[in-house]
Amino acid sequence: MKWFKRFLVAVMLFVLLATTTAYLTPLDVYVPEIEQTLSENFGEPVRISHLKLDMLPLPHLALEGVQLGARPEATAQSVGIFFDLHSLLKSQRVIHSLVLDQGSITQEQLTKILAWLRNSSVADSLLRLEELRFTGMQVVMPTMTLGPLEGKLELAADSSLKQAAISMADQKFAALIYPQPGGVFQVEAGFRRWSPPGYPGLPIDSMNISGILAEGQFTANRFSADLLGTRIDGTAHLAWQPEWKLDISMDAVDGDLGRWPSLGDGIEMAGRLQAKGRLEGHGADVRALPASLFFDADVDVKNAAVRLPLNVRRMLLLDSATAHVVGTMRKFRLDKLVSKLYGGTLHGAAVVQPGEKFLDADVSFNNIAVQPLVEALNNEVMLTGSLSGQAKFSARMNEFQRFPDNVDINSNFRLKKGVLGKIDLVQAASNPLKSGNKGGQTKFDELSGLLSVNGSGYHLKNLKVSSGALNAAGKLDVSPQLQLSGLLDTDLKGTATLVSMPLAVSGTVRDPVLHPTGSALAGAAVGTALLGPGLGTALGIKVGNLLNKLFGAKNDKIPPSGQKNPAEPPKPAEQPSGK
């Protein structure tokens, strides 16, 4: 048996010698011939820097520095050619695997190669490819680059595609592609922790797509996506010839408002959003699609809450809201807005400009319980009742640190069956000679007026207060520092003589003060001196108020805190006794 062992050793040495000789033999002399053959097949110039024989992982030819196209339009640092050794003695050689490593290809050139693979004739070809593998490859599009990509294309005996698997190196994207009758392909794709090109602020947690890829277009028969705490299910159609067009049908949207981008700095939201509608967009390239998207959807919000970046006690609550939303991410409109909040309803429309953080709205509201609304905003004001009215307002949502300078509100309102705390109009009107009335409360049947809010503060005009004991009318201004300045004409009911008293309002929202006006005090003093208390005082107040309105007395000011009234009613002169 020694001769057999010697024979095996001799064969192994011969194979090793032959392999080493082939490995060391320079192969670059064949490069021009290979370049010419490939150029004729592709119809594009092919350049190869170096050709050699590698032994690992299996013996194969290695082409280095490969370029396709005049610019070039496709490159690879290396191309490995693994032959089927059994086919080397046949008329048609079989390349078991073609491996491309670290390169790039333009979108246009990729389209050409795919068309060449579909149309190539196997019968006239001396070579047949079974498998194409690639790693570290990038697809260069007009305005962006995809990759690096890795994957595998498996080809049938007639060189048609059996199936393909493509993924990103970081596993953010993976797809399986299967050929279908009619020259189209079935695609199953998935994305994980991925953002659309050019939009890093729009992270997609996951997305799965199933659809048909045809020449220049892709139709998603179904897709599901999770982003910003929102699940979207629907269908889509994407085309890229001659321009990019996207049409999405959102069959169901279910999202968490707390994870959505804020409408402004410091604004917090919570609640559940559901929607159904369409998205459409077009552009010269894929990057233009998100910015051009036009949406048309019906939106339903449940159990929502909003906190504005103000010194407020609690979030504003919204039981529900529905609206028809139309527009783009630059500007959209909410039509048919219907909301339920604090026991009442709100109807209207609004325009939102997310980029500018600007909101403009026109609404009407009915039977809103004002007490919990006021308590959420400010604990210094005590006000109850049922609120109705209309309002037009605009706000720069990212500038609430300058409130109220960032808003412009104009509203009419009507408050029924309520209580206004910290002032007692009846008591102040009943004591015309007392200055500095504080505390108490005013019950009213109706309180109405016009409200405007802007950088100079809060302004209430045409104020009217009516109750069983009193009628009042006037105006009130509240500065941004919550200082009060106003005038109310009050009429008491149910007295033997109708008492009318003009009251000046001063102090702060936390500590309001009611004063009789200077003209009212002067008139009261004169009337009391001439006609006595009661009727004389009331008539004096009316005459003083009338003269003030006619001539605008310049000295009709609120007495400073701690100063006595400017006029005290003189005591009647003593009559001589006659004794």
Choosing from 144, 166, 188, the residue where a domain stops is: 166
Question: Is the Cα dihedral 325, 327, 330, 334 positive or negative?
Answer: negative
pLDDT of residue 571: 42
Domain annotation covers residue 171: no
3-state DSSP helix/strand/coil % of the chain, to nearest 5: 20, 50, 30
pLDDT of residue 542: 54
Domain annotation covers residue 23: no
Domain annotation covers residue 406: no
Inter-residue contact 559 to 565 (CB < 8 Å): yes
Domain annotation covers residue 378: no
Q: How far is CA 290 from the centre of its chain?
A: 13
Domain annotation covers residue 290: no
Inter-residue contact 442 to 425 (CB < 8 Å): yes
Burial of 184 (0-12, 13-18, 19+ CB in 10 A): middle
Q: Tokens 């007295």, residue?
A: 495
Tokens (6 digits) for 218: 């892709």
pLDDT of residue 341: 95
Domain annotation covers residue 500: yes
Tokens (6 digits) for 293: 């998207």
Residue 402 phi/psi, 5° resolution? -100, 10
Choosing from 166, 191, 214, the residue where a domain stops is: 166
Choosing from 166, 187, 203, the residue where a domain stops is: 166
Domain annotation covers residue 18: no
Tokens (6 digits) for 462: 């045409």
Return the CA Rg of the chain: 42
Counting as low any pLDDT under 70, the low residues of the chain are: 1-26, 55-56, 84-93, 114-127, 142-143, 169, 171, 197-201, 432-435, 494-500, 517-579
- 128's CB contacts (< 8 A; 6+ apart) are 92, 93, 94, 95, 122, 157, 159
CA–CA distance from 302 to each of 118, 257, 290, 293, 504 (Å)? 53, 10, 27, 26, 45
Tokens (6 digits) for 520: 């009212």
- 89's CB contacts (< 8 A; 6+ apart) are none
Q: Taking each helix axis as running N to C, give the angle between helix 518-531 and helix 535-551, from 0 to 180 degrees, rounded to the nearest 10.
A: 140
Alpha-carbon span 419 to 152, nearest angstrom: 77
What are the DSSP calls for 399-464, one per residue?
Answer: -GGGTTTTEEEEEEEEEEEEEEES--HHHHHH-TT---B---EEEEEEEEEEEEEETTEEEEEEEE
Domain annotation covers residue 10: no
Model pTM score: 0.74
Alpha-carbon span 377 to 363, nearest angstrom: 20
Alpha-carbon span 205 to 226, nearest angstrom: 5
Q: Which domain holds residue 41?
A: 32-166
Kind of pairing between the strands at 127-129 and 93-106: parallel
> What is the number of structural domains in the chain?
2
- 562's CB contacts (< 8 A; 6+ apart) are none
Tokens (6 digits) for 36: 């010419």
